[in-house]
Copies of this chain bind each other. A is one copy, B any other.
Amino acid sequence: MSSNFERPLATVDVVMFTAIARRLHVLLVQRPGGAGEPYPERWALPGGFVDVSQDASLVACAKRKLLAKAGVSSPYLEQLGTWGDGKRDPRGWCITTAYYALVPTSEASLRGEPDGAGALVPTRWVALQEALKERLAFDHREILQAAIARLRGKAEYTSLPAFLLPEPFTLPQLQQAYEIVLERPLDKSAFRKRMLDAQFLKEDGEVPVGAGARTAQAYRLRSRREPVVFPRMFRSAE
């Protein structure tokens, strides 16, 4: 019967983004160093085998890892893609479905989780620039680059960067989130018009903004599920 094919290994990896000190960071974990372990002690994206007896679905598996590693339970989470071939894992033909998540800055608390043997798995937020210099395990560099491309691409025409902010937030903070993702300055007036016209924000009081300056209008997202799509890209992206 067809279901008697040899089954490939199945894993889930998660690219978790957060903004720290005005720079994008990504969560990396260090692989164990034991004998027989692939890529011992290399840094890698958090992930692991799908546990058929525990995970109801692929996305449930991703959420489990998100909670275990970053302590967040419902950030923005989207499937990024699936990589599968006979060579990406020395243990055999292996499929990984990758997700990416945007973790609001304040919630980005680290959790050094004990692994199966009770040892602490080293875990840290790494600036994108540094992470791309690392020799990551498996094809995780390629997956990370795909995640960055997806995030940057969607930032050009959706409200996606808003999910990097804890609520409520101000328009200047939102603009800063965009600038962190896109790595270029945006015009203040055009930015504000665009955001307010898109109808995805609702007002939520005012907040002081420090050091003898005017208070700012605070906003919340109308929906934390999906970003809204703008009718046009930012111009300098062309």
A232 proximity list for chain B (CB < 8 A): 231-233
Partner of A5, one of B2, B51, B237: B51
Write the chain B residue with the least CB distance to A4. B49
Contact B50 A5 (CB under 8 A): yes
Residues of chain A at interface, number, CB under 8 A = 40
A211 within 8 A of B: no
Q: In the complex, what distance in Å separates the CA atom of A9 from the CA atom of B1?
A: 13
Q: Which of A84-92, A165-173, A183-191, A217-225 lies on the face that meets chain B?
A: A84-92
Q: In the complex, what distance in Å separates the CA atom of A47 from the CA atom of B233?
A: 36
Partner of A95, one of B58, B79, B231, B238: B58
A129 within 8 A of B: no
Contact B53 A1 (CB under 8 A): no
Contact A8 B6 (CB under 8 A): no
Residues facing B in A187-238 (CB within 8 A) are 229, 231-233, 235, 237-238
Chain B nearest CB from A85 CB (Å) reads: 4
Partner of A36, one of B1, B53, B157: B1
Q: In the complex, what distance in Å separates the CA atom of A238 from the CA atom of B228?
A: 11
Write the chain B residue with the least CB distance to A34. B1
Q: In the complex, what distance in Å separates the CA atom of A111 from the CA atom of B235?
A: 46
Q: In the complex, what distance in Å separates the CA atom of A57 from the CA atom of B3?
A: 19
A133 within 8 A of B: no
A119 within 8 A of B: no
A176 proximity list for chain B (CB < 8 A): none
Q: In the complex, what distance in Å separates the CA atom of A12 from the CA atom of B97?
A: 13
Q: In the complex, what distance in Å separates the CA atom of A48 from the CA atom of B1?
A: 12
A21 within 8 A of B: no
Contact A8 B5 (CB under 8 A): no
A-B contact pairs, 13 of them (CB 8 A): A3-B9, A3-B92, A7-B52, A50-B84, A50-B93, A52-B93, A57-B84, A57-B86, A58-B82, A79-B81, A79-B82, A95-B95, A231-B235
Extra 16 A-B pairs, beta carbons < 8 Å, given A1-B36, A5-B50, A81-B82: A3-B91, A5-B51, A7-B7, A7-B10, A7-B52, A50-B84, A52-B93, A58-B84, A82-B82, A95-B97, A157-B157, A231-B232, A231-B233, A231-B235, A231-B237, A231-B238
